[in-house]
Chain A
Amino acid sequence: MPISDNLKDHILDSIGEGVFTVDKDFRINFFNKSAERITGKSRDEVMGHFCKNVFRSEVCFTDCPIAIVLKTKKIIYDFENKIQCKAGNMKPIKLNAAVLYNENDEPTGGIVSFRDLSELETIGMNLQNETNFHGLIGHSKQMKDIFQLIEEIAETDAPVFVQGESGTGKELVANAIQKLSTRNKNSYIKINCSVFPQNLLASELFGHVKGAFTDAVKDRIGRFELADQGTIFLDEVAEMPLQMQIQLLRVLQEGTFERVGESVTRTSSVRVIAATNIDIKDALKNGKFREDLFYRLNVIPIEIPPLRKRKEDIVPLARHFLSKFSLYYKKQILEIEEEALNVLLNYSWPGNIRELENVIEYAFVRTTKRDVIEKSKLPPNVVEAASNGTITSNTKQFFSDSSARVELLAALEKFHWNKTHVAKELKIGRTTLWRQMKQFGLTK
């Protein structure tokens, strides 16, 4: 059944993300309540105004996210930016942008959703102690191995190549490596290589001089120069055009590059962390990714398993997101009822942790009368897909069918790692519990 415009507006008004839409002239024609809260500007103040005059961001003139989507025809995720608030201060945000098309496939407007990064950072810092490893969460053996590897390699300058499906947390792994590295006091620059067309990507990475191409209205420093003595995170690196791959290879081999439109050779000492969500073997086989570049980047490979292959991480991740949204929405919902947990455990999570986070937020927003997430509040498509998949009758069944390690972990999660309660539940002594936890490598 299609939902009414009123209900859509109500949903958009109840979410924590700021959302606004613009028409094809870039005049704002929708502005939700969270956008009002984040910017301090009321809907009446901004409706009908050009977005550049409302947000007064530098990128409005250089890298307008909607213009990037128009050029590349790809939705932008997690684009970091700063916008001006009503008080005049610039606020860091993280945004997603997409373009709306009519039936003739012509752009008719754009939609941007954004979060207050300073708020997210504060929440992130508050929750840092609840994570297992510098912002990462995982009790599975695969994740523990990754944590150990990160610790071992963090202090070297060797390039790292992170592989994993979309939403598995590649950027968080990169963040953890940077945080533990000797370069952690220097700049940390991130760029998503897939969102820029070839000419713009060269300019983003290496900078340009005025007049180098149509859009080059003034000199601009590139990300490699900005990252000098620090770290650069090249997300979606396998989407980089082949011509650009040659230039990147040269930076990796010699540490030199030129700004677009200039012949002066510049140098930069940068540690490169690259990531991709595509099958790199296929990309190499099809000639879409240069082998020489791959071997340069792949000095330390890290492969993050999809969430469906480490189901024991689902519960702690879900709990973490509940804590996050409790702080974000300022309401306390810290539990998930067993039936809802079964759904989460039986679902295959094609969108991985990002999807899990969205599902928890959806249920969180919809939970208004109780302080526990119920199955009925989960997205219907997830509930349906979970019931069509491999079904386990209940949480206990799932855990008992899995290894003893998973069973123990489930009990620990159930009692929030209170060992006295866990030992009582499992009818074992605290010493035995401690020994088993050690044996399975289970630490909070």
Chain B
Amino acid sequence: MSEMLGNQYFMARNYSAAQKEFEEVLLKYPDNRPAKKKLVVCYTQTRRLKESFAYFLDIIKTDIEFIVKTDTIRDDCPCAELIEKLEPRSTNYLDTFDYNLTLGIIWLYCDILQSKHYFTKLKKMEPSNLDIEAVCVEIDNYLLKVV
């Protein structure tokens, strides 16, 4: 287990290998936020969206800025390139919950307003989903605070 090795895999965009390292890091250090933040992205790429969303929610409930203030270039965040690959998907996929959730999560690393757009869509798709509601509240509160 090594956070550093996980960081290298993440840098090399090898998400499944990075995921394995970060999972082990979090078993030992459950409060390791940098590992958690990267693991959120890894899970979106290995189709484990449930786990990704759980960690995502955990981070933004305690400190949404930790994700919002990501500098795509300075932090070598892959989210912009992932969005570029994901957004022009086929129309059949566009309205699925998972598609919008993936984009809602990874847009928060790049542009909070785009993220809000996807979570608003998700809220309409599942009005009774309390976790989605919680994300929307956090985003709105943050926007109110910074405006």
Contact = CB atoms under 8 A, between A and B. Distances in A.
A217 B14 contact: yes
A414 interface: no
Given A50-B76, A214-B16, A60 B4 contact: no
Interface stretch (B5-13, B105-113, B134-142): B5-13
A70 to B, nearest CB: 4
A53 interface: yes
A103 B16 CA distance: 29
B16 A106 contact: no
A106 B2 contact: yes
B17 A215 contact: yes
Contacts of B20: 214
Given A53-B76, A214-B20, A107 B4 contact: yes
A25 interface: yes
Nearest to A214: B17
A64 interface: yes
A102 to B, nearest CB: 11
B5 A61 contact: no
B7 A215 contact: no
Contacts of A50: 11, 76
Nearest to A24: B4
A52 interface: yes
Nearest to B14: A215
Interface string B1-41: 01111011101111011001000000000000010000000
B2 A60 contact: no
A349 B7 CA distance: 39
A70 B2 contact: yes
A56 to B, nearest CB: 13
B5 A71 contact: yes
A127 interface: no
Nearest to B5: A70
Interface string A368-381: 00000000000000
A26 B14 contact: no
B4 A52 contact: no
Contact of B8 (A53, A70, A108, A217): A70
Contacts of B3: 24, 106-107
Contact of A64 (B12, B16, B34, B76): B12
A70 B16 CA distance: 17
A249 interface: no
Contacts of A108: 4
Contact of B13 (A61, A64, A109, A110): A61
Contacts of B4: 24, 26, 66, 70, 99, 107-110
Contacts of A110: 4
A214 B14 contact: yes
A146 interface: no
Contacts of B7: 24-26
Contacts of B11: 26, 50, 52, 60
A359 interface: no
Contacts of B8: 26, 64, 66-67, 70
A24 B38 CA distance: 14
A62 B3 CA distance: 18
A66 B3 CA distance: 13
B140 to A, nearest CB: 32
A66 B5 CA distance: 9
Nearest to A27: B76
Nearest to A50: B76
A25 B76 CA distance: 10
Nearest to A22: B4
A125 to B, nearest CB: 36
A25 B10 CA distance: 10
B67 to A, nearest CB: 17
A60 B10 CA distance: 11
Contacts of B17: 214-215
Given A26-B7, A53-B76, A107 B12 contact: no
A242 to B, nearest CB: 25
A64 B9 CA distance: 9
Nearest to A67: B8
Contacts of A52: 11-12, 76
Contacts of B12: 52, 60-62, 64
Contacts of A66: 4, 8
A60 B2 CA distance: 18
Interface in A1-59: 24-26, 50, 52-53
B14 A107 contact: no
A25 to B, nearest CB: 5
A195 to B, nearest CB: 15
Contacts of A215: 9, 14, 17
Contacts of A53: 76
Given A60-B11, A109-B4, 5 more contacts: A24-B4, A25-B34, A26-B7, A71-B5, A107-B3
7 contacts: A52-B12, A60-B11, A67-B8, A70-B2, A99-B4, A106-B2, A106-B3
Which 4 residue pairs are nearest across A and B when measured between Cβ atoms? A107-B4, A24-B4, A67-B8, A70-B5
